[in-house]
Amino acid sequence: MNTEFGISIKDVHKEFAVNHTGIASLKSLLVFWKKRTLVKREVLKGISLDVKRGECLAIIGKNGAGKSTLLSLLARIYKPTSGTINVNGRVAPLLELGAGFHPDLTGYENVYFNAVILGLTREQVKERLPSIIEFSELGDAIGAPVRTYSSGMMARLGFSIAVHVDAEILIVDEVLAVGDQHFEKKCLQRVGEFRDNGGTILLVSHQLKSVEEFADRCIWLHDGNVQMTGKPAEVVAEYVKEG
Amino acid sequence: MRKDLKELWSYRELLFVMVQRELRIRYKNSALGLIWSFLNPLFQVLVMSLAFSIFLKVGGKSHTVYMLSAYLPFMFFQTCVLDSSQSILLQLPLIKKIYFPREVLPLACVLANLIHLLIGFVIFFALLLFVYIMDPRIVPFQINTVFLPILVLISAMMATGASLIVSALNTFYEDVKYIVTVLLNLLFYMCPILYYAENVANNDTNLKSNFLLYKIYNLNPMAALTHAYRRVLLAPKEIDLGAGLHAHWMPFPLKYLIVCAVFSFCLMVFGYWFFNRLKWKFVERP
């Protein structure tokens, strides 16, 4: 396996079955066996992509272009319909922070759970707990149930966990703008540090300015295909022109 | 399947934390906490024995304890299957964000319920001790109880298999949960919980058919297992069949228990295989 690349994707297709009658039920299965309205929709139509270690790749494109599907494939949430995906290293998805929080458990208990899901052992969580709590700036609120948190607090805690799990690859889906100005700056700084230490970053954003500032390379997805790859400034300029 | 098992092993920390979370969440906002694990089946059984001893006038004076000894393991199976039927659907938002072996979810349900079962047994023995202290002439403890862990193991395998299958199916067709509820209700009456296996052994149909009914009855793995639990936990000399009839205990159903153990093991392996075949489809459910 080539270890120069953090991520290597070859000719990946992804199809989803779309059911027009809504959630499947046994009744609809039995009654409409003959005329099931399962429509296949191809979301990714043959994507090939290599991302070097330590590179920051931005993905831009319209809604429904397949950006999030691509990231989910890399996070191993889906299996591709065809093609191969090689990911070297642990992936920490920053997709919608705090996805796994349980409202009735305290912040402390949720940190445990989320960090272990992302691949830490309980021992490691225990070691990093002070640092996680300090970064999140939650203070004493860490002992309160998460249902009492504001959305900003939840996002801060989620981000704090994700950057403490020693991932080699960070997947950032439109979530850098969490919390207030002060925390956003801190996040960006932390992500920068992560990159300086040789971490690979995949960034999906509609904020074209931050893409230009942050990324080394940019790809533009259009309708499941790679429309253009290149320097962020050039790709963004072309993307804006297209409108 | 070996690859899946290896991966599951590497996520054992997550399984542990998930069980811990499961236990915490269930009684998070209740004052009595874990004690409910025992109080629930106890009250259930008390209600049932109220009807039996006052209205139906069957069962001896310790009918309640007999029912409890069979009801605890049955309840374990039932809550495992019902809890895990929802486990994937409830965690769908999480599954859509982060990768982890999906079988951790139903397995955590089974393990958490296993802990509830063990707590139930501890309090069950405390109850026996109470009986003994109240009347030292009755010694409700017996040596066979050392085989209890084997029965619990069989129960756990059966519950794991059933939970994996039901949780996978219910993710696609939520009707499954309702069908399973009906089937569990049927299973409840097909097992010697409210009555004794001896009732079946001594009824007319069985005697006329030369014990054929009893044989068929015991082929239900859950019935054989429930009977075994009773024999291992309690040892009376004879039991009250109702209507003034008394009968000796039927022998320990070893033959049927072996059938049950093999069945449970196969169910577990099949369940795991079945779950793994479907688990990649969970997030893509149309």
Which candidate from B99, B172, B174 shows the least CB-CB separation from A75?
Answer: B99
Which candidate from B13, B97, B175 shows the least CB-CB separation from A26?
Answer: B175
CA atoms within 13 A on the CB side of A1: 12
Q: How many A/B residue pairs have CB atoms within 8 Å?
A: 78
Q: Which fold has domain A1-28+39-89+168-243?
A: Rossmann fold (3.40.50)
Q: Are B108 and B15 in contact (CB under 8 A)?
A: yes
Mean pLDDT of chain A: 82
What's the rounded Cα separation, in Å, for the pair B152 and B173? Answer: 30
- Looking only at the bridges linking them, the beta strands covering A169-173 and A91-93 are parallel
Domain boundaries, given as residue ranges, for chain A = 1-28+39-89+168-243, 106-167
**Per-residue pLDDT tens over the stretch B188-226:** 999 998 888 888 888 888 888 888 888 899 899 999 999
Q: Do A96 and B29 touch (CB under 8 A)?
A: no
Higher pLDDT, B21 or B242: B21
State the nearest Cα–Cα gap between B94 and chain A, in angstroms.
5
At A176 the three-state DSSP class reads coil
Host H or E run for residue A8: strand A5-19
The answer to whether residue B278 neighbours chain A at the CB level (below 8 Å) is no
The answer to whether residue B98 neighbours chain A at the CB level (below 8 Å) is yes
Q: What is the total count of domains within chain B?
A: 1
Q: Do B176 and A26 touch (CB under 8 A)?
A: yes
User: Token pair for residue B232?
Assistant: 């291992």
pLDDT score recorded for residue B269: 96
**Per-residue pLDDT tens over the stretch A21-34:** 555 566 666 666 65
Host H or E run for residue A137: none
What's the rounded Cα separation, in Å, for the pair A209 and A212? Answer: 5
Q: Is the pLDDT of residue A167 over 60?
A: yes
Q: Is the pLDDT of residue B179 over 60?
A: yes
Which residues does chain B have within 8 Å of residue A80's beta carbon, measured at their own beta carbons? Answer: none
Q: Do B280 and A19 touch (CB under 8 A)?
A: no
State the nearest Cα–Cα gap between B177 and chain A, in angstroms.
11
State the nearest Cα–Cα gap between B79 and chain A, in angstroms.
21
Q: Do B17 and A77 touch (CB under 8 A)?
A: no
Which of A124-138, B163-177, B216-230, B233-247 is predicted least confidently?
B233-247
pLDDT score recorded for residue A185: 82
User: Token pair for residue B57?
Assistant: 């006038």
Q: Alpha helix (H) ranges present in chain B?
A: 2-10, 12-26, 36-50, 63-90, 92-95, 104-134, 148-172, 175-189, 197-201, 204-208, 212-219, 221-233, 254-278
Q: Do A25 and B174 touch (CB under 8 A)?
A: yes
pLDDT score recorded for residue A169: 87
Q: Is the pLDDT of residue B156 over 80?
A: yes
User: Token pair for residue B52?
Assistant: 């039996």
What's the rounded Cα separation, in Å, for the pair A37 and B156? Answer: 40
The answer to whether residue B285 neighbours chain A at the CB level (below 8 Å) is yes
Q: Is the pLDDT of residue B153 over 50?
A: yes
Q: Do B283 and A77 touch (CB under 8 A)?
A: yes
pLDDT score recorded for residue A164: 86
Cα radius of gyration rounded to whole Å, chain A = 20
State the nearest Cα–Cα gap between B168 and chain A, in angstroms.
14
Task: Please give the residue range of the domain that contains residue B88.
Answer: 2-284
Q: Do B18 and A24 touch (CB under 8 A)?
A: no
pLDDT score recorded for residue B185: 95
Torsion of CA B19, B22, B25, B28, to 10 degrees: -60
Q: Is the pLDDT of residue B286 over 70?
A: no
Phi and psi angles of residue A192, each rounded to the nearest 5 degrees, phi first: -60, -45
State the amino acid at position B219 in one-letter form: L
Q: Is the pLDDT of residue A1 over 50?
A: no
The answer to whether residue B182 neighbours chain A at the CB level (below 8 Å) is no
Which residues does chain B have within 8 Å of residue A73's beta carbon, measured at their own beta carbons? Answer: none
**Per-residue pLDDT tens over the stretch A171-225:** 887 665 556 778 878 888 888 888 888 888 888 888 888 788 888 899 998 888 8
Which residues does chain A have within 8 Å of residue B13's beta carbon, measured at their own beta carbons? Answer: 116, 120-122
State the nearest Cα–Cα gap between B172 and chain A, in angstroms.
7
Which of A101-115, A166-180, B219-233 is predicted least confidently?
A166-180
Which candidate from B97, B100, B286 shows the least CB-CB separation from A95?
Answer: B97
Q: Do A117 and B25 touch (CB under 8 A)?
A: no
**Per-residue pLDDT tens over the stretch A197-211:** 888 888 888 888 878
User: Token pair for residue A37?
Assistant: 């309205």
